[in-house]
A and B are shown apart, each in its own frame.
Chain A
Amino acid sequence: MRIFVPQDSAALALGADRIAQAIRRDAAARDRDVTLVRNGSRGLFWLEPLVEIETAEGRVGFGPFTPADVPALFGDLTAHPKYLGLVEEIPFLKKQQRLTFARCGLADPLDLDAYRALGGFAGLEKARAMSPAEICAEVKASGLRGRGGAGFPTGIKWETVRTASAEQKYIVCNADEGDSGTFADRLIMEADPFCLVEGMAIAGRAVGATRGYIYTRSEYPYAIRMMSAAIDLAARAGLLEDFRLEVREGAGAYVCGEETALLDSLEGKRGQVRAKPPIPALIGLFSKPTVINNTISLAAVPWILAEGAPAYAAFGMGRSRGTMPVQLAGNIKHGGLFETAFGITLGELIDDIGGGTSSGRPVRAVQAGGPLGAYFAVSQFDTPYDYEAFAAKDGLVGHGGLVVFDDTVDMAQMARFAMEFCAHESCGKCTPCRIGSTRGTETIDKIIAGDAVERNLALVTDLCETLKFGSLCALGGFTPYPVMSAIKNFPEDFRGPAAKLAAE
């Protein structure tokens, strides 16, 4: 009997280790021969801990699982109170187009043989038979754009680093996934870490870089351990050749998710934003040409190399090609990672896939793209999931997070939080962000208190213009998105209790 119990952070945070212990104990007491596999998560987080058992028909799932559900695993499986049927047939999983996340949850994340058996290293092998220029051309042809949020074409970035001349070049993976509502980087690092190792090794070969760093968050201790172990295993198996890879831990600064602040942090400095130009592709880590890509961009590369650029580009719409791991989070019934081709609408994602709110109350707002992303109202649910379509609505795809709020949310408080967060996390280098965010918080406080509301709203709007056009990076530059979208799409929350009553 093969039983799978995930060792993902979310599963562990929900007691997966206690479940694994209970299964071992119960199996021993019943004298049953059980092989326990600690797999990664499938990303169906509302079902975590999701226990699976291998059957002749395929793997069947049980969840959300508790230690009390263990004894029934040794009886009629279909009668188990947490029985979910075949995991692959769960609509949330079945409706996905999993390319980058195809292997997540299938095996022990550190089982190299399983990784190979599931198609791992096919991309790297292909890359090693190609010239660096050919690899860059392939990535360019795939249409892959930066999955961190900026959406810059990955192939063009690689080509710039490839053609730069230097004795040392670097590949830096931005795994500093600080956006609330996102966990795609974490899932890759914890469920399929070799995929990221492979993507970075391909990038190294494509641009002539022999060193790579994965910069991730101190808030992700399991991901750090898993990634470090995977690098070690891959290096000892000789799979990395002369490419040296290392995990570096951040120290709780959101702004280090901005690429130039991340580079300064890696160098051992305060995580302050650098003015651009020069671009990191030419003057990056330790002033050397550097590919700095988001985790998901790098993790998408092995599939692109293995299956070919046209196969990847066949997914998506307009200039948004391929797939995006949409992360359904917050007050949502079916929260988790949903990898899908661009073009699906926001409403389909929230209502059909996500099943509406977890509280059962009506959906009121959705914040797309993290703390710097816009709040969408239900009336905008026909917006297709696409970089350009979101931008046209003054919103961001960002790193793919969608945080759902029900009708109890106070949007004036959310606008205030956006300003407060910017003040808390500002690196302090540029004035609009450092000072504007604090003044913005104070002004929104006045609006909430009903003090000269129209005049203060005009002031916040003006301040947001200054932040948007005068900040050095996206922290100050994009804080206006959540603030202004809250004001524009939910005006009744900013004009006192009378307006709120009138709107109802």
Chain B
Amino acid sequence: MENQEIIAKVNDLLIDEFELEEEQLVPAANLKETLEIDSLDYVDLVVIIERNFGFKVKGEDFANIKTLHDFYEYIIKHAKSN
């Protein structure tokens, strides 16, 4: 998958599964404070990532993912190396 494809897929998942609005999905958006993704949501993110991108997220990795941009970069890095 190309980077843009991955970003598009992540956005689709956030819209469909997390019921976020497209206009909320700006790269600078803070996952916790702006997108209101809480600790329980992270559990579901792990499931969704594994199902759609084929790799397992390590819990400690989330500590370094603050914004949507960080999240895109993380998925791109791990999806491509998979």
Physical interaction between A and B: no
List chain B positions with a Cβ less than 8 A from chain A. Answer: none
Q: Chain A interface (Cβ within 8 Å of chain B)?
A: none
